[in-house]
Amino acid sequence: MPAPAQIRSKETGTGRGRATVTTEMVRAWQRLGEQGIDEAGGLDGVARQYGVAFGALRIYLRADGTLTKPAEDRLNPPGTDITLEMLQEWQHLSKQGLDEAGGLDGVARQYGVASGALKNYLRADGTLTKPAEDRLNPPGADITLEMLREWQHLGKRGIDEAGGLDGLATQYGVASGALKIYLRTDGTLTKLAEDRLNPPGKEVTLEMLREWQRLGKRRIDEAGGLDGVARQYGVASGALKNYLRADGTLKKPAEDRLNPPGTEVTLEMLREWQRLGKQGLDKAGGLDGVARQYGVASSALRNYLRADGTLKKRAEDRLTPPGKDITLEMLREWQRLGKQGIDKAGGRIDGVARQYGVASSALKIYLRADGTLTKRAKDRLRKDGVEM
């Protein structure tokens, strides 16, 4: 450790002789490090060695050997300006270069600027802050449509080759903060950029919906995803996403536009859907395919038909109004059905209900899926004198 300078004691307001902390002392403490402080017996030992008050020393030096901001500011008076030349050099530093210089404090010393001032412009990971970006690329520089069109074709690789979004901003002479409003790190444009390229006023037409209906996931992927399809059709990406999903299926607003909800589901349709089964439904392209085939809204069809091809209670009740009575004759026949009889009727209670022309929900009050009668059915038969 360097020998302390011989410094004459001065009288302080405390009435005890103490040396003033000088810039020379601060420079010496700057080189001490934690090991040098420990060897001197801690901060108390350093204070005694330099003949300064312990409280005064602590204003400038920490126990880990680093200088405080007042010490940094004394060595590098805050009045020293941060120049554009400095910012341009720091832009190329990177984390490694910053670490080699001794961190942010080391860079501040190297350039003779206050550490606090430097930290307004440079981060510990070597990247510039927004104030630095804005000084290098004044925010007044406009992002043009031409820039957006070029960035549209960059992709992640192009951005990486330019040095990330910050590098790209420097390349185009625009503020990094402004660029990030329009471009993401993965190379895709934001909605704001999409809307500037394709003003939201351009309408999504029925013809577009019909074409998108046939696209499928594969062709969407080939077009560059939903954003690519939007560019291809010259519509805003946000508008397209109201109608089309990334898996190629249409959303309800699209279905309703293609098949206005006013189109009624008729009894004739229900009878045909009753015979569809899962296989017929799959061949038609699922529930959405059946809806298109019959020209009804997909949401309306789903009120009546399930994805497994069976009708819902609402459909059953329309085909067989709940007012139709379950007769004793029916109960006697169902008593002999058994599981095998239900299987012959299609394997479901619904099949038996259709066969007898009664509501499925009404039949389930009397007959179980295993072919046995419920207590209510047995009670009705007993009242009629049927032997159980």
φ/ψ region of 65 (left if φ > 0, alpha if ψ in -120 to 50, else beta) reads left
Picking from 197, 175, 196, 193, the residue whose alpha carbon sits closest to that of residue 183 is 193
Structural domain includes residue 159: yes
The segment with the largest mean pLDDT, out of 39-53, 218-232, 279-293, 343-357, is 39-53
Name which residue leads in pLDDT, 152 or 359: 152
3-state helix, strand, coil in the chain (%, to 5): 55, 5, 40
Note the pLDDT of residue 11. Answer: 33
Structural domain includes residue 96: yes
Are the CB atoms for 168 and 183 separated by under 8 Å? yes
Note the pLDDT of residue 294. Answer: 85
- Mean pLDDT computed over 69-78: 74
Task: For residues 65 and 91, state if they share a domain.
Answer: no
Tens digits of per-residue pLDDT, 229-270? Answer: 887 887 877 788 888 998 888 887 887 787 665 568 888 899
Q: Tell me the C-alpha to C-alpha distance, in Å, between residue 74 and each of 47, 148, 221, 246.
A: 18, 47, 61, 60
- Mean pLDDT computed over 326-332: 89
Read off the pTM.
Answer: 0.29
Structural domain includes residue 4: no
Of the residues 92, 111, 136, the one at which a domain ends: 136
Tens digits of per-residue pLDDT, 82-120? Answer: 888 888 888 888 788 888 888 888 888 888 787 778 888
Structural domain includes residue 2: no
- Is 79 a residue whose pLDDT tops 70? no
Are the CB atoms for 101 and 140 separated by under 8 Å? no
Query: Which amino acid is located at 285 in the chain?
Result: G
Structural domain includes residue 327: yes
Task: For residues 122 and 156, state if they share a domain.
Answer: no
Number of compact structural domains in the chain: 6
**Confidence band of 136 (pLDDT split at 50, 70, 90):** confident
What lies within 8 Å, CB to CB, of 195 at 6+ separation is 236, 237, 238
Note the pLDDT of residue 14. Answer: 36
Secondary element (H or E) of residue 232: helix 225-233
Structural domain includes residue 362: yes
- Is 48 a residue whose pLDDT tops 90? yes
Task: For residues 353 and 314, state if they share a domain.
Answer: no
Name which residue leads in pLDDT, 114 or 370: 370
Q: Angle formed by the axes of helices 375-383 and 328-335, to 10°?
A: 120
Structural domain includes residue 278: yes
User: Which domain does 355 fall in, by range?
Assistant: 320-383
SS3 133: helix
Of the residues 217, 236, 258, the one at which a domain ends: 258
Q: What is the rounded (10 degree) CA torsion for 216, 219, 223, 226?
A: 10
Of the residues 75, 92, 107, the one at which a domain ends: 75
Note the maximum CA span of the chain.
126
Task: For residues 274 and 254, state if they share a domain.
Answer: no
Q: What would the two tokens of residue 381 be?
A: 């038969």
